[in-house]
Copies of this chain bind each other. A is one copy, B any other.
Amino acid sequence: MSDTPDSAVQTARTHAVRAYVEQHRAAFLDDLAAWLRIPSVSAQPGHAPDVRASAEWLAAKLTETGFPAVEVWETAGAPAVFAEWPSDDENAPTVLVYGHHDVQPAAREDGWHTDPFEPVVRDGRMYARGASDDKGQVFFHTLGVRAHLAATGRTTPAVHLKLLVEGEEESGSPHFRALVEQHADRLAADAVIVSDTGMWSETTPTVCTGMRGVADCEIELYGPDQDIHSGSFGGAVPNPATVAGRLVAALHDEDERVAIPGFYDGAAPLDDAERALIAELPFDESSWLATAKSHGVLGEAGYSTLERVWARPTAEVNGIGGGYQGPGGKTIVPASAQLKISFRLVAGQDPDKIELAVRDWLAARVPAGIRYEITFGAPTRPCLTPLDHPALRSVAKAMSLAFDGAKIRFTREGGSGPAADLQDVLHAPVLFLGISVPSDGWHAPNEKVELDLLLKGVEAAAHLWSELPTARF
């Protein structure tokens, strides 16, 4: 591995990266637009051929970029794309980039100002489904590695570079873990770089250091064999809708802490250093609430809003139902009720133990006369980059170089992603390189990407392949 270049070399390289990126900007954006025209909506079976076309388009583009090995990998669902570009430095670290080429559903009538699959550039932004989530952010790695080679004069990257771009992320990645397990040897890496997240804002470049995990369950509660008359029987038999409500109420204590015994076991506490870093961010409650489309904050006592959504585990009711929900009233004791609850998990929490804790909690709380069933979905584990991880410093350095020397701050994501499967199966740290901003409108109408930020993503990727070999991790 090479040492960190001296300041003059660094400056020259930074200029060279930027010059190369500027030179190829137009073609890069034209290519991205071509990819965005393929409506690779994984959730809609009718778009399965488009998801495949998207994989094949990307594979061809990666070959054209120079990756010597490009493969379309089949899964039980939509295909993924794998590409590999070994370094001629045998001692170089191996890096696996993760992203996805499928997109959320989108239709003009949902409120799009233009066709979601006909990209339009307006005011320095490209509007299209997938522009930032995630095709744009996957795509910056194509020009990124070319700029890296151009600026360093290398013929191969300074890292053994691998890409895995899946096609089912927007459908919950149902086959991703199996794919990773199947190809664990090919995917082996010293670090995973996830390009499927974002930054704090256009003016506050940040690096994400973790995502929460998630475990979700559905609880069915059965009372009378059919809806019964609440006048004749109400007040004398257990009501499954009442039980559902009591379970919801029992999820939290008065401090809004999750009240399921054992829930917090092993959960990594927030240390003062990270709390200080979070406090550095220019958080404004009213604009956060506007983004959340909410009208008040409420959460675990003793933590700020950002700490609550990024670094604390939660229990959330996603759905509840039972009895009569039509217009007017109906005087019944309902036959059944259901609850859908998801738990966000932080580092140190084990979804399997959470499942057992929830099952025990439920068994202790459902009264006699009510039968229940509980089913859990496949969990996603949390992942967290330690703030002192050398590779994290490399990512921050690469971002800073792309952002003209700006101070890089750190965030987390409250959501969950399949990156944790890579962490678990490959036993590699996960890092995040993303340039999307909250206004990009992921999953919403008029999704866009800020073109200047997208090109800074290209630069950051180019720099990262030079920086990582110095990290000695």
Contact = CB atoms under 8 A, between A and B. Distances in A.
A52 B325 CA distance: 31
A318 B322 CA distance: 8
Given A233-B414, A235-B312, A298-B369, A320 B318 contact: no
A302 interface: no
A244 B241 contact: no
A399 B356 CA distance: 60
Nearest to A304: B236
A101 interface: no
Interface stretch (A76-84, A187-195, A326-334): A326-334
B295 A371 contact: yes
A405 interface: no
B318 A233 contact: no
Contacts of A298: 236-238, 367-369
Given A234-B344, A238-B296, A319 B324 contact: yes
A147 B228 CA distance: 38
A44 to B, nearest CB: 15
Interface string A263-298: 000000000000000000000000001001111111
Interface in A322-377: 322-325, 328-334, 337-338, 340, 342, 344, 367-371, 377
Interface string A200-243: 00000000000010101010000111101111111111110110
Contacts of A241: 248, 317-320
Contacts of A330: 318-319, 340
B318 A229 contact: no
Each complex incorporates copies of this chain amounting to: 2
A234 B316 contact: yes
A88 B241 CA distance: 57
A212 B231 contact: yes
A121 interface: no
A16 interface: no
A294 B371 CA distance: 11
Contact of A416 (B231, B245, B325, B340): B231
A338 B246 CA distance: 15
A111 B287 CA distance: 58
Given A320-B337, A323-B318, A331-B318, A297 B236 contact: yes
A14 interface: no
Interface string A102-125: 000000000000000000000000
B236 A328 contact: no
Given A318-B323, A333-B316, A309 B236 contact: yes
A221 B223 CA distance: 25
27 contacts: A216-B331, A224-B295, A229-B415, A230-B316, A230-B342, A230-B344, A231-B309, A231-B413, A231-B415, A232-B309, A232-B413, A234-B342, A235-B299, A236-B305, A237-B292, A242-B248, A242-B251, A242-B252, A244-B320, A245-B251, A245-B317, A246-B248, A249-B249, A320-B337, A321-B325, A329-B340, A331-B342
Identify the 9 closest CB pairs spanning chains A and B, nearest first.
A296-B369, A245-B248, A231-B415, A235-B314, A249-B249, A319-B323, A319-B324, A234-B316, A237-B294
Given A229-B415, A295-B371, A329-B377, 4 more contacts: A236-B292, A236-B298, A244-B245, A319-B334
